[in-house]
């Protein structure tokens, strides 16, 4: 049996009905999955952290240098609203690393993250991460974090890592 027939790509909302109530808590509890995909060690700090009148989905610390990391996620294709949010949270929380998770990145938003990596100091890092979800015949539901935008020279494994989704 071929590898393709063993898994079928499914929309993330099939697994998490609501971004803030279902996906964000799952990501907070499974932060090591995202961290492993990014080759980072992330320590959870807060969920729905206030930034003025707004709330950042997840805030972490990068264990390598204790710098702040902001994670903004969405269970849809990238949009201008989330781009503004991720920049607002980064500035408001003085984050050094920004991780934006979406199901798909528009070319323009991916270019914006790439441009941010080009023009900012090397210590600032912007990542675009696509969330891909699968149903497998043998082991249930799986999530994959595919890095589509990263700082130049950032190390990343070529292996695709799949993580169990409770279901």
Q: Where are the domains of the chain?
A: 3-165
pLDDT digits (tens, 9 = 90+) for 107-133: 999 999 999 999 999 899 999 999 999
Q: Note if the pTM is more than 0.75.
A: yes
Place of tokens 């992330």: 42
| Residue 130, token pair as written in the block | 């696509």
The DSSP annotation for 11-44 comes to: -GGGT-S-IIIIIHHHHHHTHHHHHHHHT--EEE
pLDDT at 121: 92
pLDDT at 65: 94
pLDDT at 6: 74
pLDDT at 167: 57
pLDDT at 72: 97
One of 3.40.50.300, 3.30.310.220, 3.40.1350.10, 3.40.1710.10 is the CATH number of 3-165, namely 3.40.1350.10
The helix (run of H) or strand (run of E) holding residue 87 is: helix 80-93
> Is residue 139 within 8 Å of residue 114, measured between CB atoms?
no
pLDDT at 139: 74
pLDDT at 163: 56
pLDDT at 59: 98
pLDDT at 45: 97
Kindly list the distances between the CA atom of residue 28 and the CA atoms of 17, 73, 123, in Å, as whole numbers in the listed order.
16, 11, 24
Spans in the chain with pLDDT lower than 50: 1-2, 4, 157-159
- d(CA 98, CA 39) in angstroms, rounded, equals 14
- In three-state secondary structure terms, 129 is strand
| C-alpha torsion 135→137→139→145, nearest 10 | -30
pLDDT at 157: 47
């Amino acid at each position: 049996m071929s590898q393709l027939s063993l898994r079928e790509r499914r929309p993330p909302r099939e697994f998490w009905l609501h971004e803030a109530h279902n996906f964000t808590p799952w990501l907070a509890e499974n932060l090591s999955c995202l961290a492993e995909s990014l080759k980072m060690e992330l320590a959870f700090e807060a969920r729905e952290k206030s930034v003025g009148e707004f709330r950042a989905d997840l805030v972490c610390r990068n264990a390598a240098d204790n710098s702040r990391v902001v994670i903004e996620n969405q269970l849809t294709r990238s949009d201008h609203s989330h781009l503004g949010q991720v920049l607002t949270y980064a500035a408001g929380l003085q984050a050094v690393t920004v991780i934006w998770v979406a199901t798909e990145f528009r070319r323009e938003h991916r270019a914006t993250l790439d441009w941010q990596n080009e023009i900012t100091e090397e210590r600032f890092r912007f990542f675009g991460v696509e969330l891909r979800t699968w149903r497998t015949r043998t082991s249930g539901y799986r999530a994959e974090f595919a890095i589509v935008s990263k700082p130049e020279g950032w190390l990343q494994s070529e292996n695709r890592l799949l993580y169990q989704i409770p279901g």
